[in-house]
Homo-oligomer: A and B are copies of this chain.
Amino acid sequence: MPTAHTVVEHLEEEVAAPVIHALRPMLGSGGQLGSRAGVPCDSWRLAVEAYNMRGWKTVPAECECYVGHYMLGEQYRRDSRVVVDEAVAYAESLKLAGNGKDVWVFDIDETSLSNLPYYATHGFGSRPYNATRFNEYVMEGSAPALPETKRLFKKLVSLGIKPVFLTGRTEDQRAITVKNLRRQGYSGWEKLLLKPLGVKVAAVAYKSGERQKLQDAGYVIVGNIGDQWSDILGAPEGARTFKLPDPMYYIG
């Protein structure tokens, strides 16, 4: 699992190891923390993933450790693997047109690239979002690939389904995003769609608008994967959608 190690290496090389990292071997999935906390963090996380919890600004303070252990432990990886296994099985079952117009939409942050090295030193989503700091991190171009998503990406390419990146990152981040994606082993995408600077529209509206343009250009969106519900809601969603776990932040 080379890329799981990459996450850890980043933590070790580039940032001071957070306390939670030292605890990691002891606590695994964080399930016990979830049960003991005043807020039932395991139920909160489930509610986030099932889209019952919307418009939240930060992880509940009581759940910082729970979310940290979840993200750094085995469960996040295992949850992601089951989603990607299902996506791969779906992709393999498709009868493709074979005309090069079949595409699969990928979100970038927490879908194709992981910002866990950043969030691990910024409270795992329990502190208010700091755009300046986060963008500084993005501009390093050092975010590791999510290994399960990369596996899906490569599988789709091998099946003749073309990946299209569709991200809330802005056009001024194009060069570093391309560099980061390439460094992490992504190649062969059909398009990288970034948000024009100054566009002020909610993620659902922006992303469904871009998917509509893809359809209008003759593409068939056979699949769509993201970590936010705003990645996968809003017609045209794509023939099948997949929600990767993300208990660290909410984009509406």
Contact = CB atoms under 8 A, between A and B. Distances in A.
A28 B242 CA distance: 30
B81 A43 contact: yes
Contacts of A243: 50-52
A53 interface: yes
Given A52-B242, A243-B52, A82 B47 contact: yes
A112 to B, nearest CB: 17
Contacts of A49: 46, 49-50
A13 to B, nearest CB: 29
Nearest to A90: B54
Nearest to A84: B52
Contacts of A87: 52
A44 to B, nearest CB: 6
A243 B86 CA distance: 21
A187 interface: no
Interface residues of A, number: 29
A53 B87 CA distance: 9
A212 interface: no
A31 B74 CA distance: 13
A3 interface: no
Contacts of A208: none
Contacts of A42: 29, 75, 78-79
Contacts of A245: 46, 50
Interface string A70-81: 000011001101
Contacts of A241: 51
A152 to B, nearest CB: 12
Given A50-B50, A52-B86, A75 B29 contact: no
Interface in A20-34: 28-29, 31-32
B83 A40 contact: no
Interface of A: 28-29, 31-32, 35, 40, 42-44, 46-47, 49-53, 74-75, 78-79, 81-83, 86-87, 241-243, 245
20 contacts: A29-B35, A40-B79, A40-B82, A43-B78, A43-B79, A43-B81, A46-B46, A46-B49, A46-B79, A46-B245, A47-B82, A47-B83, A50-B50, A50-B83, A50-B243, A50-B245, A52-B83, A52-B86, A52-B242, A52-B243
